[in-house]
């Protein structure tokens, strides 16, 4: 186990990114406590000075002092006058601090370049206001009793029509389950097929929440490297051919942004067919394609009904809707529905009604055109700002984020912390790796912010680098 050397860079290197805004006393307290409880900072180790720690981690001195006071109060450290603060001789056995920061700690409002921010469109909001108030003024009977656990027929019909034409999905409305977002759909499918100990392929690097869901279901994660053609099923087969499931983002790999090549798609489908494996296709931001031909989805190429297709309105409308959908292979439908009924019974009827009307009345295509234009222009401002500052970045043809790769001598976690202090919501790339050697980089979102705000954020970030 890596032990700490006092006043060396190890302290900050071993700290996870401290999320959130403001003083972040609790996060710093939790990070140091984990090092103590994990044995990396054994009894008697001298803690760095609060000044040193604050400077290294980019938090305020007051936050570092308050975190130390908490550590002392809880018995993890002791202050010796004139000598400094030391890890206590006997560390108390308290309930562990959570590794995940509770969602309440999420910054509000988000920092420029933060991921997961939708682009608000005034016209779309006006339409939704009208649709929702009409529904409330003349409420239909569906709001007053429990309905179909898959969601309303009207919304499932509308989604099926959209997916068939826009994404090439093979589906009928019977297979569609309206969810509270992609990750809800993923959780239902994963729990339907994974038994503890089953192997699951996951792209390496990967979407962190997908990794959490697989782990929570007891899956043994097999990181399959992503290169310029996406995930490589040949590598997955070498690592573990008998995996039960593969989670992929073929249209736009998260986080690296590559599209999976046709030969890899065919190879992945062939692997699933031969091994009775399941594929989860997360198509989270395919609506935002800026140039080049639209990429058809993997599910539409599958003759064997082995692909569960997940989509969401979080990106294309806004995450507050909490509406997504899963197109579930017929063989899994009953199991997935059973879990859905157990967990949250059915999706909310009011939001479903508004989205179904939005799609049926033809507003969606116009909304997409408006929002796509704005996101594209924001992307261009961010890219231009980064390039002006000397960073080499590719212009993404799709999606809502880009990755600024960094030389391996950089520490992207420390940089992300420093970027936050400079009001830039960059996410470090290296922690998203599973087994592959960690690449350093910063993930930057360009949706939901004005071009000017992003250009200024790019300038601050480049100054930092
Ligand atoms: C890879 C990936 N999948 C899915 C989602 C969306 O999740 P949800 O639909 O649960 O909001 C995101 C959002 O950031 C994402 O990055």
Asked whether 324 lines ligand 1 (CB < 6 A), one says yes
Q: Identify the pLDDT of residue 99.
A: 47
Q: Whose CA is nearest to atom 15 of ligand 1?
A: 284
In the chain, what is the straight-line distance between the N-terminal and C-terminal CA atoms, in Å?
31
Q: According to the CATH classification, is domain 365-464 in 3.90.420.10?
A: no
Q: Which of 204, 288, 312 to mutate to test the pocket of ligand 1 (most atoms within 8 A of CB)?
A: 312
Asked whether 180 lines ligand 1 (CB < 6 A), one says: no
Strands 307-312 and 324-327: antiparallel
Q: How far is ligand 1, taken at its centre, from the CA of residue 214, in Å?
A: 15
Residues in the chain: 465
Give the per-residue pLDDT at 52: 81
pTM of the model: 0.80
The chain-wide mean pLDDT, for the chain, equals: 91
Would the CA dihedral through 251, 257, 262, 264 be positive or negative?
negative
Preceding amide of 333 cis, omega within 30: no
Q: Dihedrals φ, ψ of 207, to 5°?
A: -80, 120
Q: How many CA atoms lie within 13 A of 357 on its CB side?
A: 15
Cβ of 277 closer than 6 Å to ligand 1, yes or no, is no
pLDDT at 92: 79
Quote the ligand 1 centre to 313 CA distance (angstroms): 10
Looking at residues 285-312, what average pLDDT do you find?
Answer: 93
Instruction: Please tell me the distance between residue 71's alpha carbon and the centre of ligand 1 in angstroms.
Output: 36
Cα 268 from Cα 252, distance rounded (Å)? 16
Q: Which atom of ligand 1 is nearest to the CA of 183?
A: 10
Q: With left for phi above 0 and alpha for psi between -120 and 50, is residue 55 left, alpha or beta?
A: alpha
What are 233-257's pLDDT values in tens digits?
A: 999 999 999 999 999 999 999 999 9
pLDDT for 12 equals 59
Contact (Cβ atoms closer than 8 angstroms) between residue 326 and residue 185: yes
pLDDT for residue 399: 96
Query: Atom of ligand 1 at shortest distance to CA of 207?
Result: 1
Ligand 1 pocket mutation, candidates 110, 182, 231, 399, criterion most atoms within 8 A of CB: 182
CB distance 182 to ligand 1 below 6 Å: yes
Q: Which atom of ligand 1 is nearest to the CA of 185?
A: 10
CA of 199 to the centre of ligand 1 (A): 23
| Chain segment 182-215, per-residue pLDDT in tens | 999 999 999 999 999 999 999 999 999 999 999 9
What is residue 153's predicted lDDT score, i.e. its pLDDT? 97
Give the model's pLDDT for residue 332. 98
| Contact (Cβ atoms closer than 8 angstroms) between residue 253 and residue 259 | yes
Q: Which CATH number does 10-103 carry?
A: 1.10.10.10
Long-range pairs, 40-44, Cβ under 8 A, ≥24: 40/1, 40/2, 40/3, 40/4, 40/14, 41/3, 41/4, 41/87, 42/3, 42/87, 43/87, 43/88, 43/89, 43/90, 43/91, 44/86, 44/87, 44/89
Residue 202 CA to ligand 1 centre (angstroms): 15
Sign of the alpha-carbon dihedral angle for 227, 229, 230, 236: negative
Burial status of residue 292 (CB atoms within 10 A of its CB: 0-12, 13-18, 19 or more): exposed
92-103: average pLDDT: 58
Q: Is 115 in the pocket of ligand 1 (CB under 6 A)?
A: yes
207 within ligand 1 shell (Cβ under 6 A): yes
Pocket lining: 352 vs ligand 1, CB cutoff 6 Å = no
Measured distance CA(206)–CA(280) in Å, rounded: 13
CATH for 122-362 is 3.40.640.10
Name the strands in the sheet holding 324-327, side by side, starting at the edge strand that comes first in the sequence: 176-179, 324-327, 307-312, 278-282, 245-248, 199-204, 220-227, 230-231
CA–centroid distance, 182 to ligand 1, in Å, is 6
Taken in order 124, 130, 136, 138, the sign of the CA dihedral is negative
- Which of the two residues, 82 and 283, has the higher pLDDT score? 283
pLDDT tens profile 40-73? 788 888 888 888 888 777 778 878 887 888 888 7
Tell how far the Cα of 211 is from the centroid of ligand 1, in angstroms.
12
Instruction: Give CA–CA dist 46/35, Å, rounded.
Output: 13
The residue whose CA has the least distance to atom 4 of ligand 1 is 284
For 210-215, which contacts have Cβ atoms below 8 Å and span 24 or more sequence positions? 210/183, 210/186, 210/247, 210/282, 211/434, 212/100, 213/183, 213/186, 213/187, 214/190, 214/247
Distance 229 CA to ligand 1 centre (A): 21
Q: Is the pLDDT of residue 264 over 50?
A: yes
Question: pLDDT digits over 396-437, tens only?
Answer: 999 999 999 999 999 999 999 999 999 999 999 999 999 988
Residue extents of the structural domains in the chain: 10-103, 122-362, 365-464
Q: How many CA atoms lie within 13 A of 402 on its CB side?
A: 24
pLDDT in tens, 316-351: 999 999 999 999 999 999 999 999 999 999 999 999
Q: How far is the CA of 27 from the centre of ligand 1 (A)?
A: 24
Q: Check if 284 has its Cβ closer than 6 Å to any atom of ligand 1.
A: yes
Contact 443, 425 (CB under 8 A): no
Residue 15: partners with Cβ closer than 8 Å, 6 or more residues away: 28, 31, 32, 35, 57, 413
Q: Closest ligand 1 atom, CA of 116?
A: 14
Check if 319 has its Cβ closer than 6 Å to any atom of ligand 1: yes
Which pLDDT score, from 0 to 100, does residue 6 have?
Answer: 47
């Amino acid at each position: 186990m890596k032990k700490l050397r006092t006043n060396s860079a190890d302290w900050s290197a071993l700290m996870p990114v401290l999320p959130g805004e403001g003083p972040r006393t609790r996060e710093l307290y939790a990070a140091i406590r984990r090092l103590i409880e994990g044995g990396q900072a054994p009894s008697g180790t001298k803690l760095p000075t609060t000044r040193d720690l604050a400077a290294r981690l980019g938090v305020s001195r007051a936050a570092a002092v308050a975190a130390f006071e908490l550590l002392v109060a809880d018995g993890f450290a002791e202050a010796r006058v004139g000598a400094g603060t030391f890890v206590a001789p006997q560390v108390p056995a308290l309930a562990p601090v959570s590794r995940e920061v509770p969602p309440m700690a999420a910054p509000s409002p988000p920092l420029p370049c933060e991921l997961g921010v939708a682009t608000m469109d005034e016209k779309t909001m006006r339409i939704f206001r009208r649709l929702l108030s009409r529904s409330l003024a003349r409420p239909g009977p569906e709001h007053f009793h429990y309905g179909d656990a898959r969601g309303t027929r009207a919304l499932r019909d509308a989604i099926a029509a959209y997916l068939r034409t826009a994404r090439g999905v093979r589906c009928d409305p019977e297979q569609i389950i309206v969810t509270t977002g992609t990750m809800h759909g993923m959780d239902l499918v994963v729990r339907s097929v994974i038994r503890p100990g089953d192997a699951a392929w996951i792209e390496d690097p990967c979407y962190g929440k997908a990794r959490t869901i697989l782990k929570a279901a007891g899956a043994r994660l097999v990181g399959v490297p992503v290169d310029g053609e996406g995930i490589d099923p040949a590598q997955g087969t070498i690592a573990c051919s008998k995996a039960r499931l593969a989670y992929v983002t073929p249209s736009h790999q998260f986080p690296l942004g590559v599209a999976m090549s046709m030969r890899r798609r065919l190879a992945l489908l062939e692997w699933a067919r031969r091994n009775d494996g399941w594929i989860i296709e997360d198509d989270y931001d395919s609506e935002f394609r800026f140039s080049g031909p639209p990429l058809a989805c993997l599910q539409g190429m599958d003759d064997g009904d082995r692909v569960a297709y997940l989509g969401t309105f979080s990106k294309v409308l806004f995450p507050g809707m909490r509406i997504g959908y899963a197109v579930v292979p017929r063989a899994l439908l009953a199991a997935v529905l059973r879990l859905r009924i157990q967990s949250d019974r059915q999706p909310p009827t009011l939001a479903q009604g508004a989205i179904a009307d939005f799609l049926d009345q033809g507003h969606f295509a116009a909304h997409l055109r408006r929002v796509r234009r704005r996101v594209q222009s924001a992307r261009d401002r961010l890219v231009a700002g980064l390039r002006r500052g000397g960073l080499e970045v590719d212009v993404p043809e799709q999606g809502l984020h880009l990755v600024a790769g960094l030389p391996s001598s950089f520490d992207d976690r420390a940089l992300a912390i420093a970027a936050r202090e400079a009001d830039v919501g960059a996410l470090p790339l290296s922690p998203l790796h599973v087994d592959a050697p960690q690449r350093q980089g910063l993930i930057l979102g360009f949706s939901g912010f004005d071009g000017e705000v992003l250009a200024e954020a790019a300038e601050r970030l480049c100054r930092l680098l």
